[in-house]
Structure 1
């Protein structure tokens, strides 16, 4: 007993010691959460800057000069989102493996091969002096926080044993290149199409890519030898940075709003994480007044309103990437063939530092078209028996990108002429921009560098030696899709096609399915004026229009038992709203997912994983016109019977859902599985810590609703996790900027110890919003905290 008592005392002492260490560590990490009031002396300011923060930590910056405002924004971004900024620039520079280890080598190899950061460094000189000055002042503000902060860094820095280097303007510019890469994936589509044609033939492949167009046997014959190399390239590529499409926007003219001024709504859809990409901020100076969504690492307002205009973005789906199969000169492997003879590869060498491993040195070759992607795998040349390499042409890799200058001017534009003048500088990513101004005008523009091809549409890899599919330039700015005050009185886009068949240039075929666009037009066409509240309700809408096409085709089957009959009756009576409190969305999605697997997996074989998705337009075609895809894998030969396949997959869906949620269908809930994880890319992977900081929440919506709830549909474990959607929502009232509404998905802070880590999650989930308005007296009277940044005495 004596030793038991002594052991108990020792254990108690040890627990107290550990508690002290944990408590001390927690206290230390808390010093990384900024105070939201007080006075801070900072070198680099020309005059005091007053920063008011509301109850959610959203700042309004009052400065006497634009430069001081950008300095202050850089300081605030560093306070709240420094790790997010660090992660973005490391991804763009191909330097993740320095802190993560070999797991990120594929991504680093791709970034070094593309040379995004090298381009960003060179592009700084292409910007106007005013834009360069803004970037320099912003970087100075970021570095003022890094150098002057004597508390803890965000905890991710300690976990990965690194410290932030000084911020540079190139660190800002590389973000737009990452976005251009994320929102363009045409070369991956080309690889996928080529491999599918080799497996299925052109006619059957065209069913899977409805916009593919005619594929001539001559073209395919030229690609046959390259298929093994393209398969190897597909394996060497890292996972995509994120989904490419999905955003909503509409702008309504004064004749349909009832206020005498336009209303503009926008909710861009990107990957959902914690913190979210967007950071709300408002800036007020004598020459600049702007409010909306900024991005940590960037001084400019990406989406928002200024004193006179408002704007919104959606992704176009333009084809701005082409793979070219270059022929290595058989007489000299250091050269490749062109229409004008042999040319030397441009060659450079880069070394990637790897945490916990040896450095990796890679030789990067480029041709007249762009970097050689098939060098991503050192053994790729063994697969290229035909003496070919694959080079990437990509508009975002052209030197002299001035897109940041366009955004600088957009923040200050006062009318349509200013808007057009500044958007001439936009290069990438290609976006659909809606516009409104306080003069009552509305408009639309698709700016950027969209290639013009000598022949073809770039749907398959081209022959680099012949030059037949070379780019001859880009679509002239005057010919880009644009409209001012269209007769309909509104403009809407949800990643659907932006031009009709008579448009003289090819933009691309990467459009999203038209269901969200149809729903926007349908709701805008309802009786009564379009208001801010009505637009907010549209952004929260959960009606899934693709179910109107698919469910009548799916539920027409004969049930094989009572349980199936009850499920079919429930689906036939469903209002097709993807609400988290309902069982029908879960039943519908589980059935549709299993049916899609049954349709695609057998014919596509090893290619099914890359193609897999719900593809409602393709499934509708199969169910109505091409039942040959509905073969039963268990039969020999497989009969083409979609009804039998629907019966089988509905039974499997009911079995699976019963196992997960019990036998009572009425008790199932879409929100039980449609959960937005809102995970931190580092901390959420740490045992225990991930659970403590979790912001996961059940959500409404689905892949094709305006309230976008896109999921990891190809994940066998969590197929309905809500990982992609509207991280930012805004509705701009051009009659009164103070009535404009804003929301982001998580909170302003990227530090889990901050009260603003996730304090907006419930508001975002439930469709609420807030304003960014008020003068200094208003904000002080509302009790907002005040921090004064000022030059040292």
Structure 2
């Protein structure tokens, strides 16, 4: 027995020793890929020495004597910190994920191959202007210099993920950068899903009035430039002005409904600024990932220094400022995608119907290689309207008639896309006027570009606007027949027709993805918009002051008051507030009274430390589900975010919308008050199961945590605790500090989409400008810069955004010198 015990002890000790050795070896190999920021490296392909000064947050300040060398330095810095991110994004755009991840990414690869955006990117390279071609080539050379360094010095393959997934690291090409711009366009576009959902809902309901309830038109004439404050606040003076201070399969690149692009931006002219200098605030919204999609950087160009946020893979600062110009972006919601039904010739399935008769499909074979499995060969098809989409995706199979296929027209599929030239040129523009001119080169993704220089503020919708025929049968809102000539696009509208707001009289311009302009079809921008609520709060905050400061713009970015809550709670609870006698302790009625008492005293602030936001959010979610579940059946699951306009229409009985409150399958006729009461009980039961029955102890932050998930390792047991960044957050779906909820179980209120970057720029004192990103600069989980900015971001703090290189040097964590051989 003693002998057996000794052998068991020895075996256990050996197992522990092997585990320790394995852990240490894994750590050693992984740590080999940690970038050394303090080094001198001889590289070819540069015209003069480059210095990359990393400030104390590891933000690179790239000092070069030529623009070409500055872009080389940016490529090198991106590859130092985000090589895995670069390679995964490139493989996604190319439709080559299955080579390393196997069959679980076949659906993603199939879509990207059929869209063929990489071919469009390769064809677009020659259409860039000379300075952009030079930037693309130099940037690629910088990435490749880092790859060569990794290979030559055995630097752990460049990122720890490469040890887990055998993936060759091919040299970077200029087309790769253009493909990533197109990939971003895909992640910012939601009109495909909107068209399909409208079609499915229309087929199910059959009543146009009820369709207008659940998919409401955006009211009003649009908001962009605010009027003179004197007309809104008569007698406003100095005292008032100063008062107060999961989306599909693995790596699926298409956003779920409600999670396409968003963002906030606003700007103030000198007359609306306390310091008499222009101001701009911007916080673009994307899905949360670790690392963030954003990468902070500063570059010294021949036109001067620029600083802001870049996207690894793209040789430009997409948002930021120079000494002469600052710019920010929001998703414009331009309707730049249309679906078409294509009729197949019943006598020859290789042909489709056109206005002039049947015509052969354009075809090409494409082979998808799958790890550890035989390859799959696709036959790619195109019509005059665009590529044929897989019928198994986007629920197309549920709306496509027999004998038909569905194609997509989309601006991002252009083979002459000069969006990269616009992005590069904007960094070098010296004024709003120059920025307006260079931005005519934008094709996709369409954005609302807001700019300031020393004395002017402006907003311009940039990106190609499809030219549609006034006789289009669906107005682009539903899939239409591709063989009808009036349904087809006829090129693009001239850039001059894109909405613009230049030096508005009221001195304030901005966008929260709201309806910005009201023009009749086909000169409209969109029928679908991303916001009907935040704009109400923004208008109030902006017009609540005669003049603004950098700090008041920061305050607005961090505002967590929900106008939807302030509007809807009095409506849905109007027959429930303080009615009847106190219910017995421990009964559902008593719990309901406690919840209503809390909500009655709440100001609508979605603060992470309060219980009321969780009660409100759960109530509204349960309410919408009760209203639509019996009418829409399983389709109700697609409406997984509360639509305030729908709830308001129902409870105000707009055009008979209160009919939604009656449960079709029940014998009695339910009122809206009945449904509101039942929904509140549903919400309280759910809260009790998930968080306990003590309502006063609830915290919104427990349910509304932001998880910045590693796109590949974020679901892997044990590893996920090291690679995911989780933070409790305030805000909600309809607050200026937007924290879009997932809408799906098991965490319907998890914060999954928001401002991964925030920046505020003050041209009265440009170096007092500030910015922040949501995680950290490094994509390496072992780096202290992987998540070091996360808590600052969560607390609403910022980093200084200065072009003073002396400040960066004073607290640098390293200086990399790239020298000529």
Change (3 A) 1:578 1:285: same
Aligned to 1:588: 616
Give the corresponding residue for 1:115.
Answer: 116
1:203 corresponds in structure 2 to: 209
Q: Distance in 2 between matches of 1:206 and 1:395?
A: 28
* Rounded Cα–Cα distance in structure 1 between residues aligned with 2:818 and 2:765: 30
Equivalent residue in structure 2 for 1:178, among 173, 176, 183: 183
Which residue of the partner structure matches residue 31 of structure 1? 32
**Aligned positions of 1:527-546 closer than 5 A:** 527-546=545-564
Is contact 1:48-1:789 (8 Å) kept? yes
- Which of 745, 751, 764 is the aligned partner of 1:716? 745
Q: Does 1:555 align with 2:583?
A: no
CA change 1:526–1:381 in 2 (3 A) is closer
TM-score by length of structure 1 reads 0.93
Distance 1:206 1:487 in 2: 35
List per-residue Cα deviations over 1:16-51 (Å, max 9, x = no partner): 232122112202211111112121211222211111
Matched, 1:619 2:638: no
Residue 44 of structure 1: aligned partner: 45
CA displacement at 1:623 relative to structure 2: 1.4
- Structure 1 residues 32, 784: closer, same or farther in 2, change over 3 A? closer
Moved more, 37-46 or 87-96: 37-46
- Alpha-carbon shift at residue 240 of structure 1 (Å): 2.6
Distance in 1 of aligned mates of 2:434 and 2:115: 33
The one of 335, 338, 362 aligned to 1:319: 335
Q: Which residue of 1 aligns with 2:536?
A: 518
| Counterpart residue number, 1:447 | 462
**Aligned with 2:629 (options 585, 597, 601):** 601
- Alpha-carbon distance between aligned partners in 2 of 1:275 and 1:365, rounded to the nearest angstrom: 36
Shift of 1:576: 0.7
Q: In the TM superposition, what whole-angstrom CA distance separates every residue of 1:405-447 from its partner, at most 9, and x where no partner exists? A: 0111101001133112211111111111111002x11111002
Q: Which secondary structure state, in structure 2, belongs to the residue aligned with residue 752 of structure 1? A: coil
| Distance verdict in 2 for CA 1:135–1:650, change over 3 Å | same
CA contact (8 A) 1:579 1:585 kept: yes
Tell me the SS of whatever aligns to 2:491: strand
Q: 1:643 aligned to 630, 653, 673, which one?
A: 673
Alignment of 1:402-481 (within 5 A): 402-438=418-454, 440-454=455-469, 455-456=471-472, 457-481=475-499
TM-aligned CA distance change 1:670 to 1:773, over 3 Å: same
| Match runs of 1:755-774 below 5 Å | 755-774=784-803
Using the alignment, how far apart are the partners of 2:313 and 2:397 within structure 1?
Answer: 39
Q: Which residue of 2 aligns with 1:129?
A: 130
* Residue 386 of structure 1, CA deviation: 4.2
Q: Equivalents in 1 of 2:249, 2:68: separation in Å?
A: 46
Pick one of 143, 151, 155 that aligns with 2:155: 151
Tell me the distance in 1 between the aligned counterparts of 2:800 and 2:806.
16
Would you say the 8 A contact 1:73–1:141 is kept in 2? yes
- The counterpart of 1:258, out of the listed 263, 271, 274, is 274
CA offset digits 1:271-310 (Å, max 9, x no partner)? 0110000000001144342100001111111001112000
In structure 2, the residue matched to 1:343 is 359
CA distance in 1, matches of 2:481, 2:15: 70
Go from structure 1 to structure 2 and tell me whether the alpha carbon gap of 1:392 and 1:683 turns closer, same or farther (over 3 Å shift).
same
Aligned mate of 1:190, from 192, 195, 203: 195
Shift in Å, 1:693:
3.4
Contact 1:555 1:572 in 2 (8 A): no
Contact 1:120 1:170 in 2 (8 A): yes
Is it true that 1:162 corresponds to 2:173 in the alignment? no
User: 3-state SS of the aligned residue for 1:313?
Assistant: strand
Aligned CA distance change for structure 1 residues 5 and 176 (closer, same or farther; 3 Å):
same
Post-superposition CA distance 1:546-585 (Å, at most 9, x none): 1111100122233772221111010011111001000001
Does 2:318 match 1:302? yes
Describe the shift of the 1:768–1:235 C-alpha distance in structure 2 as closer, same or farther (beyond 3 A): closer
Match status 1:702 vs 2:707: no
In terms of mean alpha carbon deviation, does 645-654 or 485-494 score higher?
645-654
CA contact (8 A) 1:246 1:495 kept: yes
What's the C-alpha RMSD, in Å, of the aligned pairs? Answer: 2.3
- Are the equivalent residues in 2 in contact too, given 1:109–1:376 (CA < 8 A)? no
Residue ranges of structure 2 left out of the alignment (5+ in a row): 220-247, 580-587
Confirm whether residue 739 of structure 1 aligns to residue 755 of structure 2: no
Q: Secondary structure at the match of 2:11?
A: helix
Could you tell me which of 573, 576, 587 is aligned with 2:601?
A: 573
Q: Offset at 1:774?
A: 4.7
Secondary structure at 1:101 match in 2: helix
- Given the superposition, is the C-alpha separation of residues 723 and 496 from structure 1 closer, same or farther in structure 2, using an over 3 Å criterion? same
SS of the aligned residue for 2:145 comes to helix
C-alpha contact (below 8 Å) 1:80/1:749 kept by paired residues: yes
CA distance in 1, matches of 2:326, 2:778: 26
1:220 maps to what in 2? none
| Cross-structure match for 1:240 | 254
Structure 1 residue 645: Cα displacement: 1.3
Shift of the alpha carbon at 1:721?
0.8
Q: Across the two proteins, how many residue pairs are aligned to each other?
A: 769
Are the aligned partners of 2:96 and 2:368 in contact in 1 as well (CA < 8 Å)?
yes
Q: 2:659 aligns with which of 628, 650, 657?
A: 628
1:498-517 deviation line (CA, Å, top 9, x unaligned): 21347971211121232211
Contact kept in structure 1, 2:467 and 2:522, CA below 8 Å: no
How much has 1:69 moved relative to structure 2? 1.0
How far does residue 2 in structure 1 lie from its aligned partner after superposition? 2.5
Trace 1:268-417 onto structure 2 (pairs within 5 A). Answer: 268-374=284-390, 386-417=402-433
Between stretches 148-157 and 325-334, larger displacement belongs to 325-334
Greater shift in the superposed pair: 198-207 or 131-140: 198-207
How far residue 5 of structure 1 moved from its aligned partner, in angstroms, is: 2.0
Q: Deviations over 1:291-348 (max 9, x none)?
A: 0000111111100111200011011111111111122223322212211222211011
CA distance in 2 between partners of 1:573 and 1:777 (Å): 51
Flag the 1:368–1:286 CA change in 2: closer, same or farther, 3 A: closer
User: Does structure 2 retain, via aligned residues, the 8 Å contact 1:492–1:521?
Assistant: no
Q: Distance in 1 between matches of 2:252 and 2:792?
A: 35
Matches of 1:235 and 1:383 in 2, distance apart? 21
Cα distance in 1 between the residues matched to 2:741 and 2:397:
37
* Match of residue 482 from structure 1: 500
- Can you list the C-alpha shifts for 1:695-746, whole angstroms capped at 9, x where unaligned? 2110010001011111111x12111111000000000111222111100000
8 Å Cα contact 2:767/2:804 also seen in 1: no
Contact 1:600-1:612 at 8 Å conserved across structures: no
The worse-fitting range, judged by mean Cα deviation, of 429-438 and 180-189 is 180-189
| 8 Å Cα contact 1:629-1:640 kept in structure 2 | no
Give the aligned partner of residue 676 of structure 1: 706
Once the two structures are superposed, residues 433-488 of structure 1 have per-residue CA deviations (whole angstroms, 9 ceiling, x without a partner) of 111002x1111100211112112321112122221212223221112111221101
Q: Quick check: 2:251–2:712 contact (8 Å CA) kept in 1?
A: no
In structure 2, the partner of 1:494 is 512
Q: Name 2:819's counterpart in structure 1.
A: 790
Q: Which moved more, 1:512-521 or 1:485-494?
A: 512-521
Distance 2:45 2:771 in 1: 31
* Aligned counterparts of 1:110 and 1:557: Cα–Cα separation in 2: 50
Q: Give the deviation of 1:238 after TM superposition.
A: 6.1
Moved more, 731-740 or 180-189: 180-189
Query: In 2, Cα distance between the equivalents of 1:648 and 1:638?
Result: 15
